Amino acid sequence: MSQTPEIQCEVRGAAGVVVLDRPKALNALNLAMVRELARALDAWEKDSAVERVVVTSTSEKAFCAGGDIRTLHDLGKAGRHDEMLAFWGEEYILNARIQNYAKPYVALIDGIVMGGGVGISLHGSHRIAGERYLFAMPEVGIGFFPDVGATYALPRLPGAAGIYLALTGDRVGAADALALGLATHAVPSARMAELTDALTRRGALDDILAGFTHDPGQPALASERGLIADGFGAASLPEILARLEAAAAGGSAFAGKLRQTLAVKSPTSVAIAFEQMRRGAGLDFAEAMRTEFRIVSRIAHGHDFYEGVRAVVIDKDQAPHWRPAALDAVDPADIAAYFAPLGADELKLAS
């Protein structure tokens, strides 16, 4: 068993069980947690007694609400960019490890799953949504970008739903997650502990899961999927905005809300996220992670991330001063520079 109090990793019967246990921080990931999970995955892949990996949480509120953004902000403000990038580099390598893992990787997600939490769940083979499941990639609201493999995963969601989630940061529950493929199964919250126990016993994984799944009901976005597909399926950001404005003028309250949502996000982040989605559809997972490390290496030296964390997390005035302040002031050449290769500093993934 691991000795890291914020994450426990131990073999229980047929399963390597990971318990996220940093409830006061909503299980936000730090470097020690990333390293301990990576160590456990390496050990369990070679252990013939371990049939599957099961990842769960002690918190009723959150599976994992992201990375430890405040710590990363403080490192950057202190000029310790190498330490910031060491966290993101190891996190991204872990995301790729999970995506390529040789054994079933079962994430039991009953609560908030955002940012870094998405990175340690979405790329696994089985994503089990409880009734409290709440997914979002809200990074554009803090001057960041949807990372941890979102470059690969979100463009592959049906009906431009991933582009919608990346640009708006909107939250979706279990029923929508199941409909979009973010989750593979839905299970009642009251049965999650029982399911965890069942997964430690030997037997066919699909048969075990079949005994717990239920219908989570009608997806909240069902009536808006056509508008999302049309609006966010446009070939450029200005065209997305134009389509949303036209839909709002035609009486769509949902389109009007989306337009207002986009207006308050970091313009640079929204432009980066759109370009990510455009490029990501044609990248394999490894190249998507290298792309994200290129982006984060530039964001660490920029303005909007620090301003966004100040406004949302530190001062909580919800009044960030973005540079530039409007989407039409964003220079396409500046956005392209975020995606340029890093040379010797590229993310190094195992072959």
Catalytic residues: 67, 116, 139, 147
Angle formed at CA 282 by CA 295 and CA 290, multiple of 5 degrees: 30
User: 62 CB contacts (<8 Å, ≥6 apart)?
Assistant: 23, 26, 27, 111, 112, 113, 117
Taking the alpha carbons at both ends of the chain, their separation in whole angstroms is 28
Give the distance from CA 302 to its chain's centroid.
Answer: 22
**Residue 68 contacts residue 25 (beta carbons within 8 Å):** yes
Q: Which residues contact 211 (CB under 8 A, 6 or more apart)?
A: 198
Q: Which helix (H) or strand (E) holds 178?
A: helix 174-180
Q: How many CB atoms lie within 10 A of CB 155?
A: 21
Instruction: Report the number of secondary-structure helices (H) and strands (E) in the chain.
Output: 16, 9
Question: What's 79's DSSP letter?
Answer: T
